[in-house]
Structure 1
Amino acid sequence: MATFTATTPLFEVMRDPAGHEILAHHVPELAANPLLHTLYHYQLGLILGTEESLRNDPAKKAEILAKIEALQPSPAPDRSDRNNEPAAGYESESVERGSAQADFAAKGRKWQRYEITLQGPSHGNPFTEVTLTADFTSGGETLTVPGFYDGDGTYLVRLLVPAEGEWSFITRSNAKSLEAITGSFTAAAASPDARGVVRVADTFHFAYDDGTPYLPIGTTSYVWTHQGDAREEQTLQSLKSGPFNKMRMCVFPKSYLFNENEPGIYPYEGTLEDGFDYSRPNPVYYHHLEKRISQLEQLGIEADLILFHAYDRWGFSTMNAAADDLYVKYVTARLASHRNIWWSLANEFDLMFEKTIEDWERFAAIVQENDPNKHLLSIHNCRQMYDHSRPWVTHASIQRLDIYKTAEMTTQWRQEWQKPVVIDECAYEGNIDQGWGNITGEEMTRRFWEGAIRGGYVGHGETYVHPDDILWWAKGGKLHGTSPDRIGFLRRILEESPAGHLEPLPGHWDAPSAGIKDQYELIYFGFNQPTYRRFVMPPGIRFQIDVIDTWNMTVETLPGTFEGRFRIDLPGRQYIAVRLRVEA
């Protein structure tokens, strides 16, 4: 029996290396089509029958189909070649140990970056041939921090200082001039507005290092940092006036629907015409990325940074294992000193057919090894959920699997993984032809509320058709949808909750609720439209009640207080919530 037939979904053929090779060789325009991922669920025969270059060549179509039907399942790709070990003697014996010029400050500050700049050798390929770390010690605790090459003979070591006090450091390197350089600094207390890194708190939620609750109200703009200064500044202005405090974004550029423009800078040395050298990252590219991440931090926005994705025409998604490892280590070393980083190993990991589960586990280990501040770390799915029970996964980053049920699954996922649930893709508000990108603002807002009441966090995105293909989800710019203001209203409601976040409560079969038992309760009716509601509450506790119109963004406090069994009138509209507060 043939492994593949004309009725096999294109997705299954493309994920097989031999099948991918046949299609890329005979129908290169299909393999390079920016709409490829929208064709995956169609049958192979239908795709070949409608491909423009094959319409008048049935013989070629039959030949391609026959080659694919004759295939046997491909063995798992060999990802074992990861030899990146630098040579021991990068510099000659005549070089004086620790002779590199070193610049560093005498003072630092808790929860701010401290940087050591070293002027060292530049022969050969310092990106792959030089190792550099620094051991930072304070109060008996030592943190090992990786350094990295920044081009033009400059090396940097960066620490996000975790504590105030006296710190000392010593460098270690296979380059003699960079070895055993020592120094010290005094870290002052954190600045009044600093809160530290976001961590998991209370199992299902988040808080900054200083204990301040953090409620992720996220949005997605995958390649906003590749659109030129004018549009990137416009994106920052939109964020400044919007409700969002987390931005999902890619390191690499993207090639996909509405994403066909070339980036202004590339992440590696080389050119589009001649190819790229994956052993030589481009520091200018990362200077730009770091600038934008820092600007997000100034706005109080976490940068949920996606390391890999499949939407690629430059080869960045299909590098070999050694190049992948070098990239992950380099990016982590460069960016881990940013307070507002979250690591996302991949957007839709299961569409990156060349990579194995072992690869993703190895990437996670590299990030953990090279991030002394242990920022949040996760991975994101398309069709197949990753095992979020893995110990390195700090929180579940989810794209919904069911077309309709999205935030409703929060309850199940919390129980299954006992970790925060962040539904980064519940679909996008917009009007494109794809079902993932044409829900209404009302439905986007409903999903946010549904997820929040169930103790999770839902993410936003926007895909409204634009004459110049400037869709927020991809390129940023301006927000055009109706949900952001309502999401901002939800954020204010959540911030007013006594615990700083919502924990689900039992007791209602027909509507989710959350809060603190017999003290504070928020009930959400979603697309139901009751005109009244009966309550049975413990005697002796008097409640004030607010009727919240989540779409019109109004809060009506009912007159008087309520106790025991009672009934309240409701407006008979969708998207209503009721809030019960113990009488002050």
Structure 2
Amino acid sequence: MSSTASPRTVERWDLIELDVTEVHAAEATFSHSGRWAVAEPVTVGGRRLIRFAPDLLGSWEYTATGPDGGSLGTGSFECVAAEGEDPGPAGVRGTRFTHADGAAHHPLGTTALWWHEQDAEARAGSLATLARSPFSAVRMSVLARGATTWPEPAELEDVESAVVALRDTGFQAELVLFDAEGLAPGHPGWTEHLLQVVHRFAAYRNVWWCLALDADRAHVDAATWDEALRLVAEADHGRRPRTVHAGPRFDFGRRLISHSSVRDDAQWEAIDPVRAFGKPALLDVGTEGDLPTPTGGRTAEDLVSLAWWALVRGGYFWHAEEFARHSWSRHGGNLSGESAPRLEFLAGVLASAPADLTRDPGESKTFTLSRPGQYYLQYHGLHRYSTHGFSVPHDAEFAVELLDTWNMTVERVPGTFSGEFVLDLPRKPYLAVRVTRC
């Protein structure tokens, strides 16, 4: 048994590999000051490797065991601090996402399911597009498009190369494990496929799990989805975020689902998934493009507005783009639509806001994301209000700004405000109002 780490150190949250090709290990147990985790081998490049990512600094010990539970060898390595300002992997805290160091994480995702299957030049082009985009996460499928058999280890090499490239450029990778309309849980060999993928990718800090897209449309019973979630949770020593993508009536309250991923094709049914399930919510907001489907031919104006609605409802948006001439959400490449710059404006507003924002559930006409007494962000969508009333604490002064979310402008309203007040508004759609304590 050998370690591929040389010298025997590894940065925090990075992966270490044990080569157990010759010893037929069944698993390895890693321990550090009361923290322990188990990882199992997976075939990569013709070798049997056990991969692990330490999350605590200091000395780690490991023991590899065979199928009979007998020890096949022991070892140790030192986990050192990551270079630079590395906030660590993202996870769930309450109804929001945070990094391991406690910093807020705002997942602004896009779908490019098979971008990694393209040639090297096209993959490089997709990465360049992402670098210019507002997005922080990419949804991609581990199954080839139209696959009818489970992938062999060699067929996952392009997926792994893509995960590494995304990690090295600061992007999260949401891996979709199954095809709800084809190779779904329950299909012969599904558990072996799931375990192969999880054991191979769990040590990558930027990986998130999604069992399937449109899971509620699959012929899979609830018990099988529960079993799939259990297997992922048990095999994933990294405890990465995991979800199932489905319509708003799916039961996202399942204990092993860390966050909801809602196909938001019924806007008002999914009006408050954060409060309904007590978890973060990723909300699909349709597809910018010209597809002949109700949610697949949205204008950029519509998609951007829905992204703002997702934000002020306490969730996060997930973007898609498909035109007849080119589909970013299938093949990657270039973004052809007009929504991306406006979503970058939204991302900037969110990045400058306090981390612990919540939505006021008592509102009915508008939605406001706020830290009460400090910060309020309200979106009006298609409404063209001439005036609108606000209420803030009487014992403080607040600045008010009008955000034109389509033209990406910010206008400061003269003066300061406190208590209850009424704003004169410019009677135009796609307006947001930001109120900040001075």
Point out the structure with the larger helix share. 1
8 A contact 1:379–1:386 mirrored in 2 = no
Report deviation, 1:373.
1.5
2:215 paired with 1:349 = yes
SS for the counterpart of 2:36 is strand
Moved more, 549-558 or 181-190: 181-190
Can you list the C-alpha shifts for 1:485-541, whole angstroms capped at 9, x where unaligned?
A: 11111111111112x253113665421112122221111111011233344444332
2:148 paired with 1:148 = no
8 A contact 1:103–1:118 mirrored in 2 = no
The match for 2:388 is 533
Distance, in Å, in 1 between the alignment partners of 2:207 and 2:252 is: 20
The match for 1:127 is none
Report deviation, 1:401.
4.4
Distance, in Å, in 1 between the alignment partners of 2:113 and 2:45 is: 27
Q: Which of 224, 237, 245 does residue 128 from structure 2 map onto?
A: 237
The match for 1:415 is 275
Distance, in Å, in 2 between the alignment partners of 1:398 and 1:566 is: 36
Q: Which of 150, 173, 188 does residue 303 from structure 1 map onto?
A: 173
The match for 1:7 is none
TM-score, with normalisation over the residues of structure 2?
0.93
Report deviation, 1:174.
3.1
8 A contact 1:220–1:247 mirrored in 2 = yes
Distance, in Å, in 2 between the alignment partners of 1:523 and 1:183 is: 55
Distance, in Å, in 2 between the alignment partners of 1:116 and 1:519 is: 50
- Change in Cα spacing, 1:381 to 1:134, as seen in structure 2 (3 Å) is same
Q: Which of 234, 246, 255 does residue 137 from structure 2 map onto?
A: 246
Can you list the C-alpha shifts for 1:274-295, whole angstroms capped at 9, x where unaligned?
A: x86x5xx533322221110111
Q: Which of 241, 251, 254 does residue 387 from structure 1 map onto?
A: 251
8 A contact 1:223–1:254 mirrored in 2 = yes
- Change in Cα spacing, 1:442 to 1:419, as seen in structure 2 (3 Å) is same
Q: Which amino acid aligns with 1:561?
A: T
Distance, in Å, in 2 between the alignment partners of 1:501 and 1:450 is: 18
Can you list the C-alpha shifts for 1:455-481, whole angstroms capped at 9, x where unaligned?
A: 111211011120xxx301111111011
Report deviation, 1:192.
2.7
- Change in Cα spacing, 1:490 to 1:341, as seen in structure 2 (3 Å) is same
Can you list the C-alpha shifts for 1:101-152, whole angstroms capped at 9, x where unaligned?
A: 654431112111111223427xxxxxxxx66211112123321111112253
Equivalences, count: 437
Can you list the C-alpha shifts for 1:32-74, whole angstroms capped at 9, x where unaligned?
A: xxxxxxxxxxxxxxxxxxxxxxxxxxxxxxxxxxxxxxxxxxx
- Change in Cα spacing, 1:311 to 1:228, as seen in structure 2 (3 Å) is farther
Q: Which amino acid aligns with 1:305?
A: L
Q: Which of 311, 316, 321 does residue 457 from structure 1 map onto?
A: 316
What aligned pairs does 1:259-298 form with structure 2 within 5 A after superposition? Answer: 282-298=152-168
The match for 2:339 is 483
Distance, in Å, in 2 between the alignment partners of 1:214 and 1:194 is: 13
- Change in Cα spacing, 1:102 to 1:166, as seen in structure 2 (3 Å) is closer
- Change in Cα spacing, 1:549 to 1:386, as seen in structure 2 (3 Å) is same
Distance, in Å, in 2 between the alignment partners of 1:215 and 1:372 is: 23
The match for 1:118 is 20
Distance, in Å, in 1 between the alignment partners of 2:186 and 2:380 is: 49
Q: Which amino acid aligns with 1:361?
A: D
2:384 paired with 1:543 = no
8 A contact 1:111–1:194 mirrored in 2 = no
SS for the counterpart of 2:211 is strand
Distance, in Å, in 2 between the alignment partners of 1:318 and 1:493 is: 40
The match for 2:226 is 361
Distance, in Å, in 1 between the alignment partners of 2:55 and 2:344 is: 31
The structure whose Rg is larger is 1
Distance, in Å, in 2 between the alignment partners of 1:157 and 1:282 is: 18
Q: Which amino acid aligns with 1:465?
A: A
2:299 paired with 1:440 = yes
Q: Which amino acid aligns with 2:256?
A: W
What aligned pairs does 1:209-248 form with structure 2 within 5 A after superposition? Answer: 209-248=100-139
SS for the counterpart of 1:193 is coil
2:98 paired with 1:204 = no
Q: Runs of 5+ in structure 2 lacking a partner?
A: none
CA RMSD of aligned residues (A): 2.3
SS for the counterpart of 2:432 is strand
- Change in Cα spacing, 1:283 to 1:562, as seen in structure 2 (3 Å) is same
Distance, in Å, in 2 between the alignment partners of 1:103 and 1:525 is: 55
The match for 1:429 is 288
Q: Which amino acid aligns with 1:184?
A: S
Distance, in Å, in 2 between the alignment partners of 1:231 and 1:375 is: 29
8 A contact 1:503–1:515 mirrored in 2 = yes
8 A contact 2:185–2:228 mirrored in 1 = no
**Percent identity of paired positions between Structure 1 and Structure 2:** 28
TM-score, with normalisation over the residues of structure 1?
0.71
Distance, in Å, in 2 between the alignment partners of 1:396 and 1:506 is: 18
